[in-house]
Amino acid sequence: MSNILELQHVSKKFDNDLVLDDLCLEVKENTFMTLLGPSGCGKTTTLRIIGGFTTPDQGRVLFEGKDITNLPPNKRQLNTVFQKYALFPHMTVGENIAFGLKISGKSDEYIRDKIKYALKLVNLDGYEHARVTQMSGGQQQRIAIARAIVNEPKVLLLDEPLSALDLKLRQNMQRELVKIKRELGITFVFVTHDQEEALSMSDTVVVMNQGWIQQIGTPENVYNEPENAFVADFIGDSNIIDGIMVRDKLVHLLGKDIPCINTGFGENVPVDVQIRPEDIQICAPEEGQFTGRIKQVVFKGTVYDITIEAGGFEWLVQTITGHEQGKEVGIKLAASNIQIMAKPESEDEEAVSDE
């Protein structure tokens, strides 16, 4: 699969604040790529540079191998759906969708056909004569998408378009976007700070922090095999503990040697140890590697969040079974559920968002 987009050594400052620092990124054709990270990490700036709304201070943007760094947005074969949909309130739904086509000089018949096709694709059949101001937030979001796709872009850029929607509508729109992307066969570049949104929709997730790319991979890869503590902590819940890699497949953790499956870190090397809350088994005190007491139990609807103080560390455990607060329990860790990560080499890798 070839690259449709490529960012080469892109840097950008705003008022001497370095927002992107020598960023390199390849976007494969017909993929759903999500730029994920906390506020201020550079993801929206990256999208705006791809779209032509912001010019990088250094570096190049390539589209199908051609340099488009200084090409204006209307000359690029891509369209953008913004967080604020920027619909025209004095126009009907159909007139909003047709706006770009009329500027391009398309015939009335062509425009009518395109409006019907786009509305059907976003499940808004028959709404072409409705006023935009009469539509709900979710419907307006779909109108913005329809307006973008009628221009037949090769790449669709989406800047947190679901953030203003309520949870159920947002989940419905996530499924709609994946379906639209599949039916159109175009490339999506999606920006969000919502980890669940990124994991559920994407082929590829790009985790960003402080202008740097921390990790690129499939949703499964970045969740199950984070490359550093920032990624581990930002993608879902994690227990991250200082450890010493004694040797291959053995880590010293909270005063005990614990088997793991990781290799290649060397001997007696400081490491970060990550264990997901759902991968921890609560057992009888005598059966666990660590013994502790339950400090807090919080019911979250589908799981319980249980805080256990054991080995001088407060563990977060997620289970479908409730437990009694104050109860003494054991913690059992399977070697395959322990993820070893190299200690960060810079402050950028250490910085974890409060979001």
Mean pLDDT of the chain: 90
How many Å apart are CA 137 and CA 124, to the nearest integer? 13
pLDDT of residue 354: 36
Cα–Cα distances in angstroms (integers) from residue 163 to residues 34, 65, 85, 170, 198, in the given order: 14, 33, 11, 8, 12
Q: For residues 197 and 88, give the distance between their C-alpha atoms in angstroms, rounded to a whole number.
A: 28
Between CA 97 and CA 103, with CA 101 as vertex, the angle to 5 degrees is 115
pLDDT tens digits for range 334-346: 999 999 999 876 5
Q: Which helix (H) or strand (E) holds 108?
A: helix 108-121
Tell me the three state secondary structure of residue 297: strand
Q: What 3-state class would DSSP assign to 326?
A: coil
* Long-range pairs, 236-240, Cβ under 8 A, ≥24: 236/195, 236/276, 237/276, 237/277, 237/316, 237/318, 238/274, 238/275, 238/276, 238/277, 239/274, 239/275, 239/276, 239/277, 239/280, 239/313, 239/315, 239/316, 240/272, 240/273, 240/274
Q: Looking up tokens 């289970």, which residue turns up?
A: 319
pLDDT band (50, 70, 90) for residue 355: very low
SS3 for 291?
strand
Place of tokens 């740097």: 212
**What's the DSSP call for residue 92?**
B
Checking DSSP bridges between strand 269-275 and strand 17-28, what pairing results, if any?
A: unpaired
pLDDT greater than 50 at residue 351: no
pLDDT at residue number 348: 52
State the number of CA atoms in the 13 A half-sphere of 343 facing the CB: 10
Q: What are phi and psi of 288, to 5 degrees?
A: -95, 160
The mean per-residue pLDDT over the stretch 83-100 comes to 85
Question: Which of 30, 47, 351, 55 is CA-nearest to residue 209?
Answer: 351
Q: Minimal CA–CA distance to 124: which of 101, 148, 140, 108?
A: 140
pLDDT computed for residue 345 by the predictor:
67
Neighbours of 326 (CB within 10 A): 9
Mean pLDDT of 172-184: 85
Helices (H) and strands (E) in the chain, counts: 9, 20
- At 352, the pLDDT band (50, 70, 90 cuts) reads very low
Burial class (CB in 10 A: 0-12, 13-18, 19+), 347: exposed
Q: Within its chain, how far is the Cα of 291 from the centroid?
A: 36
HSE-up of 274 (CA within 13 Å, CB side)?
24
Q: What pLDDT, on a 0 to 100 scale, did the predictor assign at position 346?
A: 56
Q: Phi and psi at residue 44, in whole multiples of 5°?
A: -70, -35
Q: What is the distance between the alpha carbons of residues 163 and 171, in angstroms, rounded to a whole number?
A: 11
Amino acid at 194: D
Over the stretch 158-169, which tens digit does the pLDDT of each residue have?
A: 998 887 777 887
Q: What angle do CA 83, 171, 34 make, to 5 degrees?
A: 55
pLDDT tier for residue 85 given thresholds of 50, 70 and 90: low
Per residue in 115-170, pLDDT (tens digit) is: 998 898 888 888 889 998 888 888 888 888 888 888 888 999 999 888 777 788 78
- In sign, the C-alpha dihedral spanning 165, 316, 214, 33 is negative
Domains within the chain, CATH numbers bracketed: 3-224 (3.40.50.300), 229-350 (2.40.50.140)
- Cα–Cα distance, 190 to 32 (Å, whole number): 7
pLDDT of residue 77 exceeding 60, the answer is yes
